[in-house]
């Protein structure tokens, strides 16, 4: 199975995310967006709006200052 055939799952830990938008800005595949719903801390966290487009590049996990994003293969 090649990397392009793999399926990736993007998980955002809502209560860790402060909604800075860095992951949204750096995601070239537009997988993430800032949620209109608030988390329990009063922030609009990121969410996977287009998860099927994820290619597993992990850029979102690297730019997140709060370590709120995880990407899983399979």
Domains belonging to the chain, first-starting first, are 3-73 (3.30.70.20)
- Mean pLDDT value across residues 54-74: 97
Would you tell me how many other CB atoms lie within 10 Å of the CB of residue 5?
6
pTM score of the predicted model: 0.88
Structure confidence at residue 1 (pLDDT): 52
Residue 74 has pLDDT above 90, yes or no: no
- pLDDT score for 69: 98
């Amino acid at each position: 199975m090649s990397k392009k055939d793999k399926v990736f799952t993007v998980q955002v830990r809502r209560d860790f995310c402060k909604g800075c938008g860095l992951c949204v800005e750096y995601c070239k595949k537009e997988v993430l967006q800032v949620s209109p719903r608030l988390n329990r801390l009063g922030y609009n966290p990121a969410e996977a709006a287009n998860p099927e487009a994820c290619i597993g590049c992990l850029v979102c996990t690297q730019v997140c200052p709060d370590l709120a994003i995880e990407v899983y293969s399979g």
